[in-house]
Amino acid sequence: MKTAASNIRTTLEMIKIEHTLFALPFAFLGALLAARGFNATGLPTLWQALWITLAMVGARSAAMAFNRIADREYDARNPRTAARAIPSGQLSVSFVWAFTLASAALFFLASLMLNRLTLILSPVALALVLLYS
């Protein structure tokens, strides 16, 4: 029987969390550019930085998990990708769907907490990252 720690590790490997961490500076750079016109310091607040981080993690995690679900049959037939979490049975499709939905919910919550325009545009942004491949 798998432990929760093993499932967490497998999930983080599946979504390539290290790539999300690598991309965070680009999200913060966008926030810096956007904040220049909205406050005196030109910096997002710590509160905004937290929600930007959670939005980025939520959107990218949802996109990567959705991609793994969409590609599971191709991955199972390809010797290079057959050992991925879903084809190898390390994670169930239902678990990955639940993770995808939870990640999307985190993205929408973070969008709500940032501002109204971010929330309004969030479905478009999520659709782009989910369907880009």
CATH code (residue 56) = 1.10.357.140
Q: Count the domains in the chain.
A: 1
Taking only the tens place, the pLDDT of each residue in 87-126 is: 999 999 999 999 999 999 999 999 999 999 999 999 999 9
Domain region containing 86: 4-131
Whole-number Cα distances in Å, 74 to 79, 105, 128:
10, 27, 22
Taking only the tens place, the pLDDT of each residue in 19-32 is: 989 999 998 888 88
pTM value > 0.85? yes
Task: In whole angstroms, give the CA distance from residue 84 to residue 68.
Answer: 9
Q: What stretches of the chain show up as alpha helix (H) in DSSP?
A: 4-14, 17-35, 46-70, 72-77, 93-114, 116-131
Task: In whole angstroms, give the CA distance from residue 121 to residue 32.
Answer: 19
